[in-house]
């Protein structure tokens, strides 16, 4: 069950809007490109960069990771505490 991946899609075009990981629906990842005015939400980090295509340039001032990262050591303390509380709902 932990490997299940659920998504919510747009009713009009079927684009994925939110992804839910680890077999739960208590917290999800919003696909920023699906939002109105998505340019207001610049990337705060880049993950899985070892698979990026050559024509994507990652700015030097934006953290990037070859694969994923450890939430506890990377996120601000308050953000990690909020995530931990939401994740506890999935247990």
pLDDT at residue 38, as a whole number: 92
pTM above 0.75, yes or no: no
Is the distance from CB of 67 to CB of 3 less than 8 angstroms? no
Beta bridge partner(s), residue 18: 8, 30
CB neighbours (10 Å) of residue 64?
A: 16
Low-confidence ranges of the chain (pLDDT < 50): none
State how far the alpha carbon of 42 is from the alpha carbons of 20, 31, 46, 47, 80, in Å. Answer: 21, 12, 11, 14, 20
- Integer Cα distance of 28 and 8 in angstroms: 10
């Amino acid at each position: 069950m932990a490997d299940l991946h659920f998504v919510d899609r747009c009713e009009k075009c079927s684009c994925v809007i939110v992804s839910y990981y680890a077999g739960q629906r208590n917290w999800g990842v919003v696909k920023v490109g699906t939002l109105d005015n998505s340019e207001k939400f610049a990337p705060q980090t880049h993950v899985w960069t070892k698979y990026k295509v050559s024509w994507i340039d990652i700015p030097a001032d934006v953290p990037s990771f070859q694969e994923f990262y450890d939430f506890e050591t990377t996120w601000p303390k308050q953000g990690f505490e909020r995530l931990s509380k939401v994740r506890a709902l999935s247990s």
